[in-house]
Amino acid sequence: MNLEEYQAIIEGVLFASGEEGVTLQKLSRLLDMEQWEVSQIVEDMVDGYKHTSRGITIMNSQDTLHLTTKPEHAHYYKQLLDSPGTTRLSQAALETLAIIAYQQPITRIEVDDLRGVKSDRAVYTLVNRGLIEEKGRKDAIGRPILYGTTKEFLIYFGLTSIEELPPLSEFAEQADVEDEADLFFEKFTDEPDMDE
């Protein structure tokens, strides 16, 4: 097999793996190649995807490779998601998502305490959108569900890990939850909305 055939197989495998992605180790087993050889092919593919005529790229998130859209085109994907037929996240859902992203793993009750209002509907919405998921149960009375962000969350915001979240200011603990949500999303909403 030549290089282009290997690249085509890797691209197809990454596409088929969807949000789960594939590790280099698994790719090397599938292709019956050394891991360093597969790594070199993937690096060549990433270089090829950098060309402006390409709309996808390969992202390495927590040692798992994902075929994903380019972060620099996020404005267009946002327009697609915000177009009629899809709904935006409410302010309550954005606040809840910001709290979960920075405090994970966290229970819904703990989110309620931080927000000062009930968050069950916002949590339900975020779970349905695939932005948060159950991360286990807290060792406490009633064994409440712990929530954390998903790989979808990382991919949507173009992050490779949760450590890349924009830092909260030193005074974040004293800030209102609304301000915390604004800090969280400020990095991702620099471009103006075309609908405005």
How does pLDDT run along the chain (196 residues), one tens digit per residue?
A: 888 999 999 999 998 888 788 999 999 999 999 999 999 999 999 999 988 888 888 988 877 898 888 888 888 877 776 665 456 778 888 899 999 999 999 999 999 999 888 888 899 889 988 899 999 998 888 889 999 999 888 887 788 888 888 887 644 544 454 555 555 555 555 444 444 3
Q: Which residues of 99-134 are buried (b: 16+ CB within 10 A; e: fewer)?
A: bbbbeebbbbbbbbebbeeebeebbebbeebebbbe
3-state class of 139 per DSSP?
A: coil
pLDDT score, position 134? 92
The pLDDT, as a whole number, for residue 141 is 87
CB 111 within 8 A of CB 92: no
pTM of the model: 0.48
pLDDT of res. 91: 85
Task: Report the pLDDT value the prediction gives residue 21, as an integer from 0 to 100.
Answer: 87
- Residue ranges of domains in the chain, CATH in brackets: 3-69 (1.10.10.10), 79-186 (1.10.10.10)
| Residue 54 in tokens | 């390409």
Residue 72, φ and ψ in degrees, nearest 5: -70, -10
Q: How many CB atoms within 10 Å of residue 64?
A: 16
DSSP secondary structure code for residue 56 in this structure: E
